[in-house]
Structure 1
Amino acid sequence: MSNFYKHESAIIDAGAEIGQGSRVWHFAHVCSGAKIGERCSLGQNVFIGNRVVIGSDCKIQNNVSVYDNVHLEEGVFCGPSMVFTNVYNPRALIERKNEYKDTLVKQGATLGANCTVVCGVTIGEYAFIGAGAVINKDVKPYALMVGVPAKQIGWMSQYGEKLDLPLEGEAQTICPYTEQHYQLKNGQISLIE
């Protein structure tokens, strides 16, 4: 366990896998079956469940619980106090552990502070979920989502800047920071090489 940093107040259960260069901060708890990639940061009071896979270079800010059946690909940002669920219709008096739904957050996506991701959805690559939004259906790659329930209001670049593109139709634009070219076609964004 010397290839990553663990604050003395953090709890890492035996069997958890944590990649080189990762940091586990104050009062975090990583359960025994968790698999965490390299160079991740788990902020204060973060909880990682048993059946969780987290790719390399993810940042999970303070007060986030990543429950069973959540998979974060590499480079995902989870903002402070955002929420994952793993049961669609929970009740305190009914055991539903056999009804957990899988949630997939693809590479480079951003989940803003205090947003909620309802279980069973897939969030596409480099999607950007605004603070406080509630995601209850799949999200397209590069989509900018806000509101309750969340609606798409635009497109974001890999760099994290809003792209000057309509929601539908065909168009092209350039990210002003990276000069990458993006194309909108058939309701999907792609990089033009």
Structure 2
Amino acid sequence: MIHPLSDVSSSRIGTGTSIWQFSVVLGGAVIGNDCNICAHTFIENDVIIGNRVTVKCGVYIWDGISVQDDVFIGPNVTFTNDRYPRSKQYPEEFLQTVIEQGASIGANATILPGVRIGRFSMIGAGSVVTKDVPENSLVVGNPARVIRKLEEPKS
């Protein structure tokens, strides 16, 4: 389901995926099956989103970001892809950010470029992720720090 008030240029949208109003998906983006892309989102060209991913309202996913299966991205999560941004000056290649399978990112968290968020990890609301997050970890704060290990979900 692609809402008529969204602007979706990509033809690579999986079955069962919903894209809600006022969302923009550029032509190069790939979105898997059974995803929920909520209102007021933006997905750039060099983005891959896996299956069963939820992207809540107010999230912009920039070039160089890949999101694996079963990831939850909370409202107003901020991704970045350039460590030293300047107007009209672009890097030759954007840093790659990977959100691994089953990770959850809380509302208003900020994810700096070039990090890997490990499988089944959780990012606390409002946290600022400046470095890689180990799998099965709960991180919070600014900068985000591991406060405890989590059990891997049972299948």
- Aligned-residue identity in percent: 36
Q: Say which structure, 1 or 2, has more relative contact order (CA 8 Å, 6+ apart).
A: 2
- Secondary structure (helix, strand or coil) at the match of 2:148 reads strand
Q: Residues 118-174 of structure 1: CA distance to partner in whole angstroms, max 9, x if unpaired?
A: 010111000100000000100100110000000110122344xxxxxxxxxxxxxxx
Following superposition, the deviation at residue 83 of structure 1 comes to 0.6
RMSD (CA atoms): 1.3
- Secondary structure (helix, strand or coil) at the match of 1:87 reads coil
Matched, 1:98 2:92: yes
Residue 51 of structure 2 is matched in structure 1 by: 56
Aligned residue runs from structure 1 range 59-78, under 5 A: 59-78=54-73
User: AA paired with 1:6?
Assistant: I
- Secondary structure (helix, strand or coil) at the match of 2:92 reads helix
User: AA paired with 1:80?
Assistant: P
- Secondary structure (helix, strand or coil) at the match of 1:38 reads coil
Following superposition, the deviation at residue 26 of structure 1 comes to 1.1
Question: Against the structure 1 CA distance between its residues 119 and 135, is the aligned structure 2 distance closer, same or farther, given a 3 Å change threshold?
Answer: same
In structure 1, distance between residues paired with 2:43 and 2:11: 10
User: AA paired with 2:2?
Assistant: K
Residues matched between the structures, number: 155
Aligned residue runs from structure 1 range 160-171, under 5 A: none
Residue from 117, 121, 125 that aligns with 1:131: 125
More strand as a share of residues = 1
Following superposition, the deviation at residue 63 of structure 1 comes to 0.4
Runs of 5+ consecutive residues of structure 2 not aligned to the other structure = none
In structure 1, distance between residues paired with 2:49 and 2:152: 19
Residue 77 of structure 2 is matched in structure 1 by: 82
Residue from 134, 142, 152 that aligns with 1:148: 142
Aligned residue runs from structure 1 range 104-115, under 5 A: 104-115=98-109
Q: TM-score, normalised by structure 2?
A: 0.96
Matched, 1:41 2:36: yes
Question: Against the structure 1 CA distance between its residues 87 and 16, is the aligned structure 2 distance closer, same or farther, given a 3 Å change threshold?
Answer: farther
After TM superposition, which residue ranges in structure 1, 4 or more long, deviate above 3 angstroms? none
Following superposition, the deviation at residue 8 of structure 1 comes to 1.1
Residue 3 of structure 2 is matched in structure 1 by: 7
Matched, 1:26 2:21: yes
User: AA paired with 1:64?
Assistant: V
